[in-house]
A and B are shown apart, each in its own frame.
Chain A
Amino acid sequence: MNTTPPEPAPITPFAVRDCALLTLSTGVGAENLKEFHEGLQRVPESSIYHHFWGRLLRPQFDEPEYSNDFASWAYHHLREKALAERLSTVDPTEFDTLETLRQELLEVVEQALDENPVVPWLRAEQPFAFVRSQIIVFDSGQRFATPREMAESMARLPLGAVYYHFIDARRRTENRRDDLSVWVDSWGPDYTSLCDALRSLDPYFSSLKEIRRMLASTFARFFDLPGESEDLEGAPPGAVFGPRRRRRA
């Protein structure tokens, strides 16, 4: 068992890792906006990260209405629509560190506290519970020898692998880049346009399924592959929930 993230090595086959999150309480909760403001100041950075990105691995049926848990709580349980809109437009990809992201969130909340003297004490319908997560990384058994192989399998990549390589990679790699474009980049200038296209994808407003679809179509355009509509997670195989495809070599 390893407990430190590895750096991807160039040109070696791309090893697909799958992942799952194990969530833990931070012990910090909020019944109103005042408590939420206090909690936001003292929770670990990993909690801020979880409420922006970890939510993508939670079950969901459609595109999220708000793109982080804070905004969603403000709308659904605090009934503060203006605050929900402002929190939802805080884009974590625009901040170099989680600490500066936290400061931006605090700024938005402080504005709401200043604007309405009643809001800070309004009791939320359900409290906000700050949580954090541990990431558990698995070997999927899948290997890509070339970018084309990666392209051909992209539409079937497990959602945990999409999260691990395209989202989580940005916080554990140098230059905060995703694993896919870093690996493709190592194949030289022939792939520069593909790398640029991958890097220009904005994951913040999408579900993992949508991110996977965007990745698959970006690869497909570059290699001129036919579009693929198969969605493994969307349609559990077999009439009585038979086995999922075995991916391990």
Chain B
Amino acid sequence: MTPGILESYAAVAGEDVVDHLRQLAAPLAGTRVVHVSSTREGGGVAEILRKLIPLTRALGLEASWEVIAGTPDFYRFTKSLHNGLQGKGVPLPQNLLREYENVNAENAETLRGALNDADFVFVHDPQPAALLSHFPDRKGRWIWRCHIDVQRPHRPTWRYLRQWVALYDASIFSLPEFVQPLPHPQFLVPPSIDPLSEKNIELSPEEVADVRTRFGLNPELPLVVQVSRFDRFKDPLGVIAAYRLVKRHTRLQLVLAGGGATDDPEGDAVLTEVRDAAQDDPDIHVLLLPPDAHRTVNALQRAADIVLQKSLREGFGLTVAEAMWKGKPVIGGDTGGIRLQVIQHYTGFLVRTPEGAALRMRYLLHRRDVLESMGERARRFVWENFLITRHLREYLAIMLGLRAGQTEWIEVGW
């Protein structure tokens, strides 16, 4: 008999972990939960929701996922909003503000049936944040889920967004440092990875070797990989600079692999900059992957000796947990949620410059024993802390807590 979804997760995360989920879900049976985001493909939010919804359903809640539809101007504006929240000063022209508000108003009408009677609505990131203002008669509690590093936002940008976000019943941030003053409870929930997704399941050595061959990678040379959107905050040019510093001493290969997210209009420009910087170096492989290339990404991470995530700003950095789950040490930017995952000298290294990344790459490539023990610790660390089951546990607890009225004590299972 094929195991059910909960049994499959129990086999990876632990039976007691799934048992806790069942205990939390029991008092929420039949509760209608809707998640709203801006894209169904590409980016960490979509990846999390793709599995969170069926898991929630398997626990007896009525969960669904709605996606808003936007215009090119809307996405250009929300990309600026995103950049502004991460601290990059951006203009907020009136016509684009109106476009943002109009798109939210139109989507509110489309989604009215699904959202107005829901018991809980989780609205992800800034794109659909203004939806709530169109539901004056909403039945349930609405929670704004921020996946972005908003530690030092561009103030006018935050002020604009805050008018919509302040109306929610609660918000969720990935790290305490990201929290902004708001008149409601603010929960702290780091994101997670799905160990059973195409991107994270075990692959055979043959499949990993096939991917090496497909992209012309030399199995005899060390391989360093960064997987992320082509976005300046991911610092792909810094990664190339670090690679060049290492290459003076050790020949190696670099893969910069990224997919485009449908809500990110800047990707093409950054990809061109990256290709220009790579010049004709045959050991730099810039791969633009389709949004559904999950198995390819999985194989590239498994083929790597070291995984980089040299972001300058990062809400969380799911690629860090993905790499760690595959037993790889990560050299990550000393920022945002990467700090939560990369524990200095235990699961990898935090760096601030290409020079710092190069130093740590050289060290790990010459100390295979350290590289391997760090990788083992990294995998265990993700198993204990960053699997989707922990994420869902916290969402269920938030719903119970909001329903019970902010008590400090929630007991289930009795």
Residues of A within 8 A of B (CB): 1-5, 17-18, 20, 22-25, 27, 29, 46, 59, 61, 126-127, 129, 131-141, 158, 233, 236, 240-248
Contacts and interface: CB of A to CB of B under 8 A. Distances in A.
A51 B407 CA distance: 19
A140 B173 CA distance: 29
Contacts of B394: 22
A164 to B, nearest CB: 10
B203 interface: no
Nearest to A15: B414
Given A59-B385, A139-B23, A141-B19, A3 B404 contact: yes
Nearest to B414: A139
Contacts of B316: none
A4 B408 CA distance: 9
A140 B16 CA distance: 8
Nearest to A19: B411
Interface stretch (B89-97, B180-188, B235-243): B180-188
Interface string B10-50: 11101111011001100100000000000000000000000
A242 B13 CA distance: 8
A85 B327 CA distance: 36
Contact of A24 (B27, B187, B409): B187
B14 A244 contact: yes
B343 A61 contact: yes
Contacts of A61: 343, 346, 377
Nearest to B24: A136
Nearest to A6: B411
Nearest to B7: A243
Nearest to B390: A20
Given A131-B188, A139-B23, A244 B410 contact: no
A149 B176 CA distance: 41
A137 B19 contact: no
A23 B12 CA distance: 25
Nearest to A125: B334
B177 to A, nearest CB: 6
Contacts of A135: 408-410
